[in-house]
Amino acid sequence: MNASLPQLNIGQVMLAVFKREIALGLRQKGEVLTPLVFFMVIASLFPLGVGAESKLLLRMAPGVLWVSALLAAMLSLQRMFATDYADGSLEQMVLSPTPLGLLVASKALAHFVMSGLPLVFVAPILGVQFGLDGRSLGILMLSLLLGTPTLSLIGSIGAALTLGVRGAGVLLSLLILPLYIPVLIFGAGAVEADAAGLGIGGHFSLLAALLVMSLFFSPMATAAALRISLE
């Protein structure tokens, strides 16, 4: 297998890594469903806890839904490299002629597809509980669509830094939560700005800028962190 790797182009190797991650995720359906169920439960508890006051729910909705999505996306981060680390696949990736950063990007994309994308489609259903209208639900979906890939990319850095560390879950949260704050502010702020009759272009532009920056810097930082963790 190793002898055939140089014969494959980079795109084929990245696609193979992506397909492998999706296949592993589909085999472990519990791990895929856990973030989704967590998101639904947390977001659904707030309307029950604060009552049925429509104005209060509308004011809370963007922040509650975004914080719930952020926490849900974090649940599966610890396992992003854990399986590869346990079975030795991670060392083969490091030694592969394909740049490790590109393989990391494929794994982060798979994490988004399995953990982040379902949140995007479920969010409008939960938003109805808060009384959001159709326009606000669309903006919420678009903000999550731009923001959740950034969460996966940034989260991959923390997952790599805490690989094989005891109590990695708590440490991972402490490392990446501060980096998630800009995504949370601009994601929830887009929905709030529209509700207030303000422009939302700036929020989406900043979310897109964060995504581009994450696409450029996160794979390289994650690759460096993985090499350190394997030493």
Residue 16: the pLDDT is 85
Q: Which two tokens stand for residue 18?
A: 């992506």
pLDDT tens digits, 32-63: 788 888 888 888 887 777 766 777 778 888 88
**Token pair 């950034």: residue:** 150
In angstroms, the Cα distances linking 71 to 74, 115, 181, 218 are 5, 11, 12, 19
User: What pLDDT, on a 0 to 100 scale, did the predictor assign at position 152?
Assistant: 92
Using an 8 Å Cβ cutoff, are 78 and 169 in contact? Answer: yes
SS3 167: coil
Q: What percent of the chain has pLDDT over 70?
A: 95
Residue in 158, 156, 165, 56 with CA at minimum distance from that of residue 106: 156
Task: For residue 1, name the pLDDT band (cuts at 50, 70, 90).
Answer: very low
What is the rounded distance in angstroms from the CA atom of residue 188 to the CA atom of residue 116?
Answer: 16
What average pLDDT does the structure give for the chain?
A: 84
| Whole-number pLDDT of residue 32 | 76
pLDDT band, residue 167 (cuts 50/70/90): low
- Check pLDDT > 50 for residue 123: yes
| DSSP conformational letter for 99 | -
As a whole number of angstroms, the distance between CA 165 and CA 145 comes to 31
Which domain, by its residues, includes 36? Answer: 2-230
The alpha-helical segments, DSSP class H, found in the chain are 10-27, 29-50, 54-74, 82-87, 89-95, 100-111, 117-129, 134-161, 168-195, 201-230
Q: Could you tell me the pLDDT band of residue 211, with boundaries at 50, 70 and 90?
A: very high
State the pLDDT at residue 160.
Answer: 87
Mean of pLDDT values over 174-184: 90
Q: How many domains does the chain have?
A: 1
